[in-house]
Amino acid sequence: MEIRSQLIAAREKLEAGDLAGAMAVYDAALQSHGDDADVLATVSGDLGATGHIAELIQLLAPLYDPELHGPAAGLNLLQAYLAAGSADAAQHMLDLLAALKRPELEDRLAGFGVAIAREAAARRAGPDDPGGRPAGASLAPPTSVARANLVSISKPIWFYGLEPLSDEILPPGDGRRRRVAFAQISLSGIYGDVVEASKAPEDQYGAFARALPLWLAETFFFSRDYSPVAAIAVVKEPNGPSLPLLFDDEWTVDNLRQLADTTAGGLDYIVTGVLGRDSGEHRLLLRLWEVKKLRERKQFSARWDPAAPDAALAALHREICRYMEWRPDTSGAGLPAATPSSPGAWLCGLASSLGLFLAEKEIFPRELLAPLAPAFAGLGRLTAESPAASLAWLTLRARARAIDLAPALEEPGFADHPVVARARSLLAGAG
């Protein structure tokens, strides 16, 4: 069926009340013609005209590129975000459309700017939000509520504690490299109250939000062209302890500017993302930003069954590396880059390693740490694959022992590499 016939068939299904059937046709059309500006404009226009706002955002947000698709679909997305009450997302879309510098859009975009400001003001004044936006939703929450900060992780999280072996583990990092920050993932619609969720023991969503940027930063640390950092958020409550911080809104342009301005050496790129749930699946959207122009360059998306994340996460990882032209370090120093066979297990291990690392520094309260047994079990299945996985298991155990939280463990099989033997000796001596 040619694309015009597909779109007509989908519209007929919408008018007949068959939303599921229409979405199936639209999904197929976008898979084959996702680069076609007219197709995106038609799909978004039909869904918006029939009141299917959530479905419009679900289909179009991961695909829309203003330079590729032009303003029509973007304007429909902007209207959808406003209709859904998502002022931050609407502002983000307004910024993208304004960057096109189309004179014929100026008056219309100005009108949208007023509408967005009204929506934001109404949200701040609403009965469910008497004090403004929740502390967990922004890098700059009201100072009377809390003070938010970013913890920058500039080396693989499993490396800390192995500094005497740095020449054997880390590449030299010399020369001019592109600076990229991987920001903590936002969690859309996961929690009813993101502030209260930040005070509860870490669950799979909080772990993922912090672990994915750690994994991506680690990947690019072992490349020849990049100098990466992972940006993890914490919040200091008035007269209280520091706590892990969760976001429920996507990062705004102002947040990106804050991160770039406060990162030593500046940044060339920032990767942000948002995780949501859709029909029992997890749905992830990542955005790559060019810092110089604060312009979105690329989107990456993935969805997976929570019980089987590995294939989708591995494919996403490959796509990001391919687009950003990742190349392995060729200096001959340090460990070779390694990709785990189970990204889900690796992310679980990284999240626990970060939690223990911050708990040692009295940033992450011990009572909020996730149970450690799953992390040890998952990493234990990977240790023989690479020296990095072996070191991750060993430093995780060392950190757990340092604060008396290590469960009873049998050592797994480690990679046969000299640095692993030296790390075991070093960490045994430190304990």
Tokens of 304: 């997976």
- Position 131 scores a pLDDT of 29
Higher pLDDT, 72 or 293: 72
Q: Give the least confident one: 27-31, 210-214, 390-394.
A: 27-31
- Position 229 scores a pLDDT of 93
- Position 313 scores a pLDDT of 97
| pLDDT exceeds cutoff 90 at 106 | no
Beta-strand ranges (E) seen in 126-280 are 147-153, 178-183, 186-187, 226-236, 242-244, 269-278
Tokens of 251: 């990062």
Task: State pLDDT tens for residues 240-291.
Answer: 667 788 988 888 887 888 888 878 778 999 999 999 988 889 999 999 999 9
Higher pLDDT, 115 or 208: 208
| pLDDT exceeds cutoff 90 at 149 | no
Tokens of 65: 């590129």
DSSP 382-393: TTTT-HHHHHHH
| pLDDT exceeds cutoff 60 at 135 | no
Q: Which residue has the tokens 């998306």?
A: 301
| 53 φ, ψ (degrees, to nearest 5) | -70, -45
| pLDDT exceeds cutoff 70 at 125 | no
Which of 120-124, 135-139, 144-148 has maximum average pLDDT?
A: 120-124
- Position 126 scores a pLDDT of 41
Nearest residue to 109 via CA among 64, 153, 75: 75
Task: Give domain limits for the chain.
Answer: 3-125, 135-430
By percentage, how much of the chain surpasses pLDDT 90? 43
Question: How far apart, in Å, are the Cα atoms of 1 and each of 4, 19, 405?
Answer: 8, 20, 60
Range 235-240 average pLDDT = 68
CB atoms within 10 A of CB 76: 25
By percentage, how much of the chain surpasses pLDDT 70? 90
CA distance 38 to 34: 10
Domain 3-125 has CATH 3.40.50.720: no
